[in-house]
Amino acid sequence: MRESFRQAMAWLHTWLGLTFGWLLFAMFLTGTLSYFKEEITHWAQPEVPVRALDTRAALEHAQAFMQGAASGASSWYIMPPNERRSGLEVMWPAPSEQGRAFISKQLDPATGQLLFVRETKGGDFFYRFHYELELSYPFGRWIASLAALAMLVTMISGIITHKKIFKEFFTFRPGKGQRSWLDGHNAVGVLALPFHLMITYSGLVIFMAMLLPATLFTVYKGAPAKFYQDVFPNAFPAPAKGEQAPMAPLSRIYDQAMAQWPGARFARVEVQNPGDRAARVVFYRHAGDRIAYLPGASLAFDGVTGQLLGSSGVDEGALLVGGGFYGLHMGQFANTAERWLYFIFGLGGTAMIGTGLVLWLSKRQLKYVRDPKPPIGLRWVATLNLASMAGLVLAVAGFFCANRLLPLELAGREDWEVQIFFFTWLAAFLHAALRQGQRRGWVEQLSLAAAQYAALPVLGLLFTGRGLPRAIAEGDWATAGVDLCALLVALLLAWLARKVASRATVQAAALRPARVMP
């Protein structure tokens, strides 16, 4: 290979990595948390009871509730409980004057009673942030996709740069400053390289129709909406007839759906035109029933007679390959062990980005060890490194604490949680700028974050009816798991803070005699 080509790729890896590294770190960390989206949501809503799973009964209760609460709605959406979701969620379009798209309620799946559940985005916040960045459609998704493309190119150029990739993988020189960061960066990068490539490319595949709209436009001769009719035929309801007709019980339709697809789980039951003669019920298959996600995999039934109208889901060719990438990215199929593997690999990807950012800086800071005022560019990178890494970890802690501490009756409570996340992050940035990204700043932010994570189980014990001891006793491992992880993270952050602090004193001691010399 031409040496100059490799150097050009090293340049690209360095600068593209630096430019997008901060954003990618946030996308990877929140995306990694999203593998436990349901568990975090469950932890965040301690009011939702854990019941024995009975989808049939849950659907009966949901139908009874909706017939009372949403009889005039154009459609109902019922999300039955499953192994990872204990609540029964129902949704329907909000009347236009309410200013939001849907009304959403949580029911007790065993009794059908309306539950009072604290308003929170829970795990959904991290999930949506990791690809929308809390920006309006489509800007957030475009920026996130651009970052994903940069990630893909950075990884390819990184692979080209490291010609001795496997030899370097087995090289680790700890305690050697910049060298150790390089070795660590190579190790986490190579260890899960197939995962990193898959997760980045599949992230782009998920948004490909948004990213390359011209393709659908031309293939479908100027009517790209037809693509969605081809792939999701059951998502387009026929117009209502305007004639009232009693609905078939959803539990009976569920039995038929199970006879059609034995052992299937259903993520969503959609009732189109409820109470009308043209009513239609669509059972959407849970994406976790297999690895490759099948777009639009569903069974449609006549809502009045309960007769099967048809099934959809194209299980071949490019749609299967695309669905495979989609399914691999989402990891819905994963059992507990596989889910932890996803989580660990995701953390590995986050660490790969983080070590890269630190490496960029430490390599250049070497020249300025004795300089009290390094160039402004380096100080900015140091500030952004601190704010984007330790600051984000702190902001996540802030979000979790807000979930436990905000008054339950607070109006717009779930928006407050999000605002606290961003205010914490902003404060961390200002603090990082004040400390110019130096070790002292790292120690302070990591220590504060450690204290916050350690406080989470205590707050749960004090302010919810489902503290850690009770969750363990009841075998509620989602709640217990989040609390236990918070403790583990607290220990890890405290250890990191100590380590950075000890390095800082060593460095200060090394600097002192240099100052007095002429």
Q: Which residues bind other proteins (CB under 8 A)?
A: 3-5, 7-12, 14-15, 146, 149, 152-153, 156-157, 201, 204-205, 208-209, 211-212, 214-216, 218-221, 226-227, 230-231, 314, 316-319, 321-322, 325, 364, 367, 371, 375
Q: 312 vs 479, which CB is nearer to other proteins?
A: 312
CA distance 316 to 296: 13
Where does residue 317 fall: left (phi above 0), alpha (psi -120 to 50 degrees), or beta otherwise? left
Q: 158 vs 274, which CB is nearer to other proteins?
A: 158
> In whole angstroms, how close is the CB of 294 to other proteins at the nearest point?
13
> In whole angstroms, how close is the CB of 4 to other proteins at the nearest point?
4
> In whole angstroms, how close is the CB of 264 to other proteins at the nearest point?
23
> In whole angstroms, how close is the CB of 23 to other proteins at the nearest point?
15
User: What would the two tokens of residue 416 be?
Assistant: 């407050």
Looking up tokens 């803070």 gives 497
How many residues comprise the chain? 518
> In whole angstroms, how close is the CB of 210 to other proteins at the nearest point?
10
Q: 134 vs 371, which CB is nearer to other proteins?
A: 371
> In whole angstroms, how close is the CB of 165 to other proteins at the nearest point?
17
Looking up tokens 């309306």 gives 114
User: What would the two tokens of residue 229 be?
Assistant: 């009719």
* Preceding omega of 274 cis (within 30 degrees of 0): no
According to DSSP, the residues that pair with 92 across neighbouring strands are 103
Q: 171 vs 229, which CB is nearer to other proteins?
A: 229
> In whole angstroms, how close is the CB of 24 to other proteins at the nearest point?
15
What is the 8-class DSSP label of residue 263?
A: T
Angle (CA) 201-205-208 rounded to 5° is 130
- What values do phi and psi take at 56, rounded to 5? -60, -50
Residues contacting 150, CB < 8 A, separation 6+: 16, 19, 20, 24
Q: 83 vs 371, which CB is nearer to other proteins?
A: 371
Smallest Cα–Cα separation from 74: which of 238, 302, 231, 312?
238
- The secondary element (H helix, E strand) that includes residue 52 is none
Q: 215 vs 507, which CB is nearer to other proteins?
A: 215
Angle (CA) 256-261-266 rounded to 5° is 85
Q: 3 vs 97, which CB is nearer to other proteins?
A: 3
Beta strands at 75-79 and 88-93: parallel, antiparallel or unpaired: antiparallel
Q: 20 vs 28, which CB is nearer to other proteins?
A: 20
Angle (CA) 14-19-21 rounded to 5° is 85
Alpha carbons within 13 angstroms on the beta-carbon side of residue 466 total 21
Q: 115 vs 216, which CB is nearer to other proteins?
A: 216
Is the C-alpha dihedral spanning 3, 364, 346, 23 positive or negative? negative
